[in-house]
Amino acid sequence: MRRPLGPTRLGSRPDFEVGDVSSSAVWTCPACGRGFRRSGQAHGCGRGTKAQLLRGKPPSLTTLYATLDRDLTKWGPQDTLYRDRYALFRTSRGFADLVFMHDGLRLALYLDREDAAACFFKVGRTSANRVIHVAMLRTITDWRRVRRYLKEAYQLAVNEDARRLTPSSRPHSKGKKRTTRGLTTA
């Protein structure tokens, strides 16, 4: 769960924490208090619960969701945001989302590469560094086929968080020299 790390002051950048992963939010929604990395980020303020997500769903799908949720918990800290029939999984950025459909769970996850595995019915580039992979989960076998990809998406998000927290990890333009107090470095 997202936990504020301290009081926020006007003009400051509030911090939020997911497990042991901390990040600095650029913008905090005044209505719901959630921190985002983009100012004015579009989002649904209503924050539901897992119980609301699972209410009235077929037992086969709630069992499938419970298996996915249990595996996610084993991998490490992450935050799950619930709304209606939707769950967003994130560290300081979303790495996957899930929607309850009438006959299955639609799982969309973000990798840094394209993979044409048969378990995905849709694959598309969303940015230079992100590729969305969409799968429909109807059985535990479907989950087993997709599990390693969701874990990879989670690990990419955690690694990105770690790089963002390390000041020396910012990439520099190739071929350009940067200066440090009058010293030129390559």
pLDDT tens digits, 83-133: 889 999 988 788 999 999 999 999 999 999 999 999 999 999 999 989 999
**175: in domain:** no
Lowest mean pLDDT among 9-13, 117-121, 125-129, 173-177: 9-13
Average pLDDT over residues 68-87: 92
Query: Which residues contact residue 25 at a Cβ distance below 8 angstroms, ignoring those fewer than 6 apart?
Result: 13, 14, 15, 16, 35, 36, 37
Q: Same domain, yes or no, for 23 and 78? A: no
**141: in domain:** yes
Residue span of the structural domain in which 66 resides:
50-165
DSSP notation for 44-79: ------HHHHHTT--HHHHHHHHHHHHHHHHH---E
Q: Same domain, yes or no, for 32 and 122? A: no
Domain count, the chain: 2
Cα separation, 92 vs 16, in Å, equals 8
Question: What is the pLDDT, as a whole number, of residue 79?
Answer: 86
**61: in domain:** yes
Lowest mean pLDDT among 8-22, 24-38, 62-76, 138-152: 8-22
DSSP assignment letter at 6: S
Q: Same domain, yes or no, for 86 and 40? A: no
Q: Same domain, yes or no, for 128 and 60? A: yes
Reported as a pLDDT band with limits 50, 70 and 90, residue 62 is very high
Q: Same domain, yes or no, for 97 and 148? A: yes
In this predicted structure, the answer to whether residue 172 has a pLDDT above a threshold of 70 is no
Query: Which residues contact residue 85 at a Cβ distance below 8 angstroms, ignoring those fewer than 6 apart?
Result: 53, 99, 100
Instruction: Write down the mean pLDDT value for the chain.
Output: 79
**133: in domain:** yes
Q: Same domain, yes or no, for 99 and 142? A: yes
Phi, psi of 179 (to 5 degrees): -115, 145
Reported as a pLDDT band with limits 50, 70 and 90, residue 160 is confident
Q: Same domain, yes or no, for 66 and 135? A: yes
In this predicted structure, the answer to whether residue 66 has a pLDDT above a threshold of 80 is yes
For residues 156 and 83, is the Cβ–Cβ distance under 8 A? no
Cα separation, 162 vs 35, in Å, equals 18
* Residue in the block written with tokens 């769950």: 87
Which candidate, 15, 14, 19, 17, places its Cα nearest to that of 3? Answer: 17
Copy the structure tokens of residue 130. Answer: 């992100």
Q: Same domain, yes or no, for 145 and 64? A: yes
**182: in domain:** no
**76: in domain:** yes
For the domain that residue 95 is a member of, what is the CATH number?
Answer: 3.90.1150
Query: Which residues contact residue 137 at a Cβ distance below 8 angstroms, ignoring those fewer than 6 apart?
Result: 64, 68, 104, 105, 106, 107, 143, 146
Question: What is the pLDDT, as a whole number, of residue 164?
Answer: 72
Whether this prediction's pTM lies above 0.85 is answered by no
Q: Same domain, yes or no, for 93 and 115? A: yes
**13: in domain:** yes
Q: Same domain, yes or no, for 97 and 150? A: yes
Question: What is the pLDDT, as a whole number, of residue 33?
Answer: 73
**20: in domain:** yes
Question: What is the pLDDT, as a whole number, of residue 45?
Answer: 66
Q: Same domain, yes or no, for 27 and 69? A: no
